[in-house]
Amino acid sequence: MKENIQIRNELFESINNLTDDELNKKLSKEKWSIMQVLEHLFLMESKLVKLMTRTFNEAPPKVISDKPIHLVNDRTMKVTSPPHFEPTDEFISKAEILAKLNQSRKSLIDFVELTKEQNLENKGMPHPFLGEINLKQWIPFIGVHEKRHIEQIYEIKNEIVSAGRE
């Protein structure tokens, strides 16, 4: 969790000086705004924790090998978000998204605390590209995935600055 907390701090730092309008600015229909990236991260973390909790409580134990979750950071591989992790087009304030991200992070911390004495390697959930990932790896996966999107946020910020100069 220590690395996930560091990455979350990095995420917050990446948007620190941006206004609500800048966060919600879309440069094209095909690309997400920074706010949509943030909403995607909230949706993913909150829904994954619910799925992880259900899997922990209900799934039968089985052998699940570790997966190369670090590959998620490769931004040359374009990935389409599953529909249930897709953000809306609604205007969201920075205060609102920060509250949501803090709420989803609290639920992850609560899950980690609840299961810290348990074996999380023998229960898993499917990932659309990596196959079944054990619950122990899903915890750092959330941070690795967030790191990928921090890079995306910096790319969008640079595009916003460039568009402002034109």
The 10s digit of each residue's pLDDT in 71-108 is: 888 777 777 888 889 999 999 999 999 999 999 999 99
Helix (H) or strand (E) holding 126: strand 124-127
What CATH number has the domain bearing residue 51? 1.20.120
The 10s digit of each residue's pLDDT in 34-80 is: 999 999 999 999 999 999 999 999 999 999 999 999 888 877 777 78
Domain residues for the domain of 71 are 2-12+31-165
Is residue 74 in some structural domain?
Answer: yes
- Count structural domains, the chain: 1
User: Closest by alpha carbon to 14, among 161, 155, 139?
Assistant: 155
